[in-house]
Amino acid sequence: MIKQIKKYYNLEEFKSSSLLSHQVLHIVLSFNQIGAKGASCLGSTLANCINLSNLTLDLDRNEIDDEGASGLGSALANCINLSNLTLDLSRNKIDDEGASGLGSALANCINLSNLTLDLNYNQIGTIGASDLGSALANCINLSNLKLNISYNQIDAGYVLGLGSALANCINLSNLTLDLSNNQIGDEDALGLGSALANCINLSNLTLYLGENQIDDEGASVLSSTLVNCTNLSNLIIGLSDNQIGAMGVSSLGSALAKCTNLSILSLDLCYNQIGAIGASGLGTALGNCTNLSNLELFLQGNQIGDQGISGLGSGLANCTTLSNLVLEIYTNKIGDQGALGLGLALENFTNLINLKINLGDNQIRDEGTSGLGSALANCSNLLNLTLDLLYNQINGSQKLKVKTKCLKSKRLVVFKIN
């Protein structure tokens, strides 16, 4: 029997409802300025919903602050039958005290199997985040966890505590962690990596660590632990805007090559310092991921150059099972030789069905464009092709020729060129 979802957009209406009857509940109060008092009132009401199993609270942008977060948390501690909880408290001026109070409450929700917690754009520091992480250690039945603490004030040390907590969640199969735009460095990458090594049942992992202070050492340490997650089939890693160079990306590539069950991979390394050597090494390593069917690479702003893009393409050509490929490689000082090298490699991608390439803001001229177009026309199984060549040195007639070549493909259904 499917349980009926009760949805409320008004706090007073919810307060006057039959509280004991609620099992699946969704409350939407975003942008309502309920403040700490309103959050505490909501919490007091929820404390009476003792039969709740599924709860979703949309409370973003309400100026709830520490008092409201702690009060709401205390109430949730009474909902001991909760198995599914989604809580959006983003942009609410919550700092360490509020995060600690919320964590203490979650520690009592030992029956949780699915938890989504969004605390982005608050003022949480290392202490509050650590307390929150420690609380998760009690939620040993978690199988699905999404935790967003991006855009806070977390520095070195927090991830070590979070790592220890995750190590207890041995039943996790799906994990999403967004720690982007904090002050996380190599030491934290070590702690996070050590924790992930214990999550041996993970099949889906998403890590957002962009805009932090991770360099080659941190990337290498984090990479070395991925090989222990032998059941991974879907992996998303966001490491944009760090200080990762060729050595770090080489370690990452080597680790990914050992994740033999990977079928879907999205890797964001934009605006790092990987260069030509790093790009070529990454391509060679990923060429060993023999089960990959979907690959997204975001490598813009890395000074890859002609040698790097040619090496990347040649390596990826060994991924014979690829059917979907996205390459975001704009702003990389790629010229005609690089475009020609990429084209030659793409001719070997015999199983590609969907292809998107962004080569904008490079140094490609008519010769490189013509060669790339001829190569793409030979990808006989392509159904969908998107090619972005904006801000290069290509005249309009040359783009038209590329379009004409590609449209000769009998299977191509969708073609876009910019």
- DSSP H or E stretch at residue 161: helix 158-166
pLDDT in tens, 282-312: 999 999 998 999 999 999 999 999 999 999 9
pLDDT exceeds 50 at position 1: no
pLDDT exceeds 90 at position 339: yes
CA-wise closest residue to 268 among 342, 349, 207, 311: 207
**How far is the C-alpha of 302 from the C-alpha of 13, rounded, in Å?**
54
Q: 298 and 325 in contact (C-beta within 8 Å)? A: no
Phi, psi of 338 (to 5 degrees): -65, -40
CA-wise closest residue to 314 among 291, 292, 347, 290: 347
**How far is the C-alpha of 83 from the C-alpha of 68, rounded, in Å?**
23
Strand stretches in 259-378, DSSP E: 264-268, 294-298, 324-328, 354-358
Hey, CA dihedral for 249, 235, 287, 365, is it positive or negative? negative
* Domains of the chain, start order: 56-61+79-417 (3.80.10.10)
pLDDT band at 410 (very low <50, low <70, confident <90, very high): low
Please provide the distance, in angstroms rounded to a whole number, between the alpha carbons at the two ends of the chain. Answer: 51
The total of other beta-carbon atoms located within 10 Å of residue 396's CB is 7
Looking at the chain, the number of H-run helices and the number of E-run strands are 14, 15
Which one is predicted more confidently, 154 or 11?
A: 11
Output the CA angle 396-398-400, nearest 5 degrees.
Answer: 75
b/e sequence 362-373, b meaning 16+ C-beta within 10 Å: bbbebebbbbbb
pLDDT in tens, 7-63: 999 999 999 999 999 999 999 999 999 999 999 899 999 989 989 999 999 999 999
Which one is predicted more confidently, 145 or 161?
A: 145
Strand stretches in 228-371, DSSP E: 234-238, 264-268, 294-298, 324-328, 354-358
Hey, CA dihedral for 332, 337, 342, 343, is it positive or negative? positive
Give Cβ neighbours of residue 272 (< 8 Å, ≥ 6 apart). 239, 240, 241, 242, 243, 244, 245, 248, 249, 301, 302
Q: What is the pTM of this model?
A: 0.94
Give Cβ neighbours of residue 16 (< 8 Å, ≥ 6 apart). none
The whole-number pLDDT of residue 163 equals 66
| Identity of the amino acid at 391 | Y
Question: What mean pLDDT comes out for the span 274-279?
Answer: 97
Phi, psi of 322 (to 5 degrees): -65, 130
What's the residue count for the chain? 418
pLDDT exceeds 50 at position 205: yes
pLDDT exceeds 80 at position 147: yes
**How far is the C-alpha of 389 from the C-alpha of 364, rounded, in Å?**
8
Q: Which of 30-34, 66-70, 354-358 has the highest mean pLDDT?
A: 354-358
**373 HSE (CA, 13 A, CB side):** 25
- DSSP H or E stretch at residue 56: strand 54-58
